[in-house]
Amino acid sequence: MGYLEAIEECRDRFPELRILSGLEMGEPHWHAAAIAKVLGAGRFDRVLGSLHCLPLPGGDRFAEPPGLYEHREATEVVRAYVSEVAKLVSESDVFSVLAHIDYPIRYWPQQTAGPFELSAFEEEFRFALRATAQSGRALEISTRIPLHATILRWWREEGGDAVTFGSDAHEPSAIARGFREAAQMAEAHGFRPGPNPYDLWGRLN
Ligand SMILES: [Zn+2]
């Protein structure tokens, strides 16, 4: 059964629930035609955009962070990833929420590269966050590996005015894991829920 059909069935079976549909689009700025085709297939209430891959040396093959770290210097992988995020938010307008800006940090190769030092990438993160804020998007607080509070602070300082929460669960039992802590962190940084549970969280001032 297709995704949209499954959503319709769930709405029929649980009419007391409000069930939103959503998509996460990977690298939408590189695949405009394919993305338009998917989005044209139906109505999607929330569309996230994200970056998962970068080119390997040589440029004709792509890899996710674990593969990238095998072939490129670790700090360079993070810099290249965050720089590409700035391009993603500038070049594509099909999504409203930027997902997991901290994606490469999940796979940081501590054994070979030592502990991850977020402050070494402050300039790159601030640049990408500013571009995301200026494009009018919300920032997802992913709880799979909890978002670093410093990135949320930078988001606010660079003009970000909304956040969403995502658990990147991949299995039902993990849906919404870590949301309590993530919500507390968002509140501590001046974000508040809207009138409805599914609204974006906006900033207080
Ligand atoms: Zn993703």
CB 126 within 8 A of CB 158: yes
Could you tell me the distance, in angstroms and rounded to a whole number, from the CA of residue 196 to the centre of ligand 1? 25
Could you tell me the distance, in angstroms and rounded to a whole number, from the CA of residue 147 to the centre of ligand 1? 14
Question: Per-residue pLDDT for 1 more than 70?
Answer: no
**CATH for 87:** 3.20.20.140
| Residue 3 covered by a domain | no
Could you tell me the distance, in angstroms and rounded to a whole number, from the CA of residue 68 to the centre of ligand 1? 16
Helix (H) or strand (E) holding 26: strand 22-26
CB 129 within 8 A of CB 154: yes
Report the pLDDT value the prediction gives residue 116, as an integer from 0 to 100: 97
| Residue 47 covered by a domain | yes
Report the pLDDT value the prediction gives residue 80, as an integer from 0 to 100: 97
| Residue 120 covered by a domain | yes
Could you tell me the distance, in angstroms and rounded to a whole number, from the CA of residue 95 to the centre of ligand 1? 13
Q: State percent of the chain over pLDDT 90.
A: 94
Could you tell me the distance, in angstroms and rounded to a whole number, from the CA of residue 101 to the centre of ligand 1? 9
Could you tell me the distance, in angstroms and rounded to a whole number, from the CA of residue 59 to the centre of ligand 1? 22
Q: What is the pLDDT of residues 10-46, one digit of tens each?
A: 999 999 999 999 999 999 999 999 999 999 999 999 9
Could you tell me the distance, in angstroms and rounded to a whole number, from the CA of residue 14 to the centre of ligand 1? 28
Joined together, the tokens standing for residue 180 give 């309590």
| Residue 194 covered by a domain | yes
Report the pLDDT value the prediction gives residue 98, as an integer from 0 to 100: 98
| Beta bridge partner(s), residue 163 | 139, 201
Q: What is the mean pLDDT of residues 66-74?
A: 96
Could you tell me the distance, in angstroms and rounded to a whole number, from the CA of residue 158 to the centre of ligand 1? 23
Q: Which residue has the tokens 């297709």?
A: 2
- Its domain, for residue 100, covers 21-203
Report the pLDDT value the prediction gives residue 7, as an integer from 0 to 100: 95
Helices 122-134/74-91 angle, 10° precision: 10
CA distance linking residue 167 with residue 145, whole number of Å: 9
Q: What is the mean pLDDT of residues 171-177?
A: 93
Kindly list the protein residues that place their beta carbon closer than 5 angstroms to ligand 1, a single-atom ion: 50
Could you tell me the distance, in angstroms and rounded to a whole number, from the CA of residue 140 to the centre of ligand 1? 11
Could you tell me the distance, in angstroms and rounded to a whole number, from the CA of residue 50 to the centre of ligand 1? 6
| Residue 5 covered by a domain | no
| Residue 2 covered by a domain | no
Report the pLDDT value the prediction gives residue 204, as an integer from 0 to 100: 86
Domain count along the chain: 1
When the pLDDT of each residue in the chain is averaged and rounded to a whole number, the result is 95
CB 128 within 8 A of CB 168: no
Question: Per-residue pLDDT for 205 more than 80?
Answer: no
Report the pLDDT value the prediction gives residue 59, as an integer from 0 to 100: 84
CA distance linking residue 99 with residue 31, whole number of Å: 17
Q: What is the mean pLDDT of residues 93-113?
A: 97
| Residue 14 covered by a domain | no
| Residue 134 covered by a domain | yes
CA distance linking residue 148 with residue 143, whole number of Å: 10
Q: What is the pLDDT of residues 73-100, one digit of tens each?
A: 999 999 999 999 999 999 999 999 999 9
Q: What is the pLDDT of residues 131-160, one digit of tens each?
A: 999 999 999 999 988 999 999 999 999 999
